[in-house]
A and B are shown apart, each in its own frame.
Chain A
Amino acid sequence: MVWVLLVTAFFLEGIITSLPLILTSLLLFFTYRRSNRVFLAAFGVGILIDVLKLRQLGISSTYYIIFLFLVSLYERKFEIKTIPFVIIVSFLGSLGYLALVNSSEILFRALVSSILAVTTFHVTANLFRNPIRSRF
């Protein structure tokens, strides 16, 4: 499910929209899986999205990896599978990413992005009763 979410976000962000859907999908990926594979996904998808958006390669993947590492540090001490966490972290992460890629109206877009993230989180949490997998 998280892979489907990530691939869908990649297609939408690559072709149609400027919202940081990949970032929010990676956040949800880590929230559910808590696996180190998320770094591989972040690296791969980051490179591909830079190619599609004609940006310098490595910008997006570097940001995604640092963002996810900070989330993993937080995850060691506190629970991350909560709505307040998803709202705040997706908002801050989107804000930073939109500023990095010189987007306009970054506050509003970050807010929309965090609303989308928490909506997806809530829907997927209800669809899958035991989504937490602690395989490492």
Chain B
Amino acid sequence: MKDNRIVSLRLSGYNRSVRRGQDTFFYFLLFLFLSFIIYLLSATDGLQSVRTIIEKSFAPLYGLYSVLNFSSKQSETALQKENRELIKKLVDQTELRKENQALKDQFESSLSLPFHLMPAKVIATSVFIPGVSIPESFILDKGLANGVKKGVGVIFKDTVVGKIGEVTQHLSKIEVITNKSSSFAVFTLSSNALGIIKGGGNGEMTLENVLLSENLSIEDIVVTKGDSNKGGVGYPKGLIVGKILSIDKKPSSLFQSAKVKSLLDFSRLSTVFIIINK
């Protein structure tokens, strides 16, 4: 009798376990299937309206960013401001001199496409340790409804912040220039050396593919070469990228490289400007 009871208890426990396993598998398949359907619909832009509704519902949440952000003060000392203004003047002067020379020599100079700037507020960020690490991306409060397009540049006081990576109806995401996926053509201000700036993550950038014959100098300013098309996608020419910190030049290599640091403190940005084609 006692043995029968023990056996029946074990069997009921076993049955419960089997049933639980079946339930778990059922729920797993159900939600996996739903996720997969949503993924496919999202890939074909079939869920834009749903996304817009959810974004609007979570709009108050983005207000928490300014409260929780540990370094939200977008302030700089008078010296830093003066430094930035002087660098901008230097860049403008150099560009004017080059254009004058080009006109004198009867070459056509590539003028930057006319554009205007749209201010956008940073409402969320993606950072490893808030207040310590350099942000990898920002979410802005402007989207397709405001005329923002994927691939357009974002700047702050004539210094490049990044490019719009993803954009929805009301929001957009900047991929910061120090991101590993960032790469674009630049040249140095003093020696006109052409190269490619590549993001290295964690606030680092490297100027690569510079010919060995070119002269790089420390503290030299790096500016964008200009790769924007008629649609305004890309960076206009002459925007400040950063300053050269160190140079890596080996006679045995084909190219030389340099470490570049941005003049901006990305962790303090709260407002940026999106380049919109006129």
Q: Which residues of A contact B (CB under 8 A)?
A: 11, 14-19, 36, 39-40, 42-43, 46-48, 51-59, 61-62, 65-66, 68-69, 72, 76, 102-105, 109, 112, 136
Contacts and interface: CB of A to CB of B under 8 A. Distances in A.
Nearest to B32: A65
Nearest to A36: B27
Contact of B173 (A54, A58, A109): A54
Contacts of B65: 15-16
B56 to A, nearest CB: 11
The secondary-structure label for the interface of chain B is: helix
Interface stretch (B128-136, B212-220, B241-249): B128-136
Contact of B69 (A16, A58, A76, A109): A16
Interface of B: 17, 20-21, 23-25, 27-28, 30-32, 34-43, 47, 51, 54-55, 58, 61-62, 64-65, 68-69, 124-130, 136, 139, 165-168, 171-173, 179-181, 201-202
Contacts of B58: 14, 48, 51-52
Given A104-B136, A105-B201, A40 B31 contact: yes
B127 A17 contact: yes
B205 to A, nearest CB: 13
B223 to A, nearest CB: 26
16 contacts: A15-B64, A15-B68, A16-B127, A18-B127, A18-B128, A39-B31, A47-B35, A52-B61, A53-B139, A58-B39, A65-B35, A66-B32, A104-B136, A104-B202, A105-B202, A109-B128
A105 B128 contact: yes
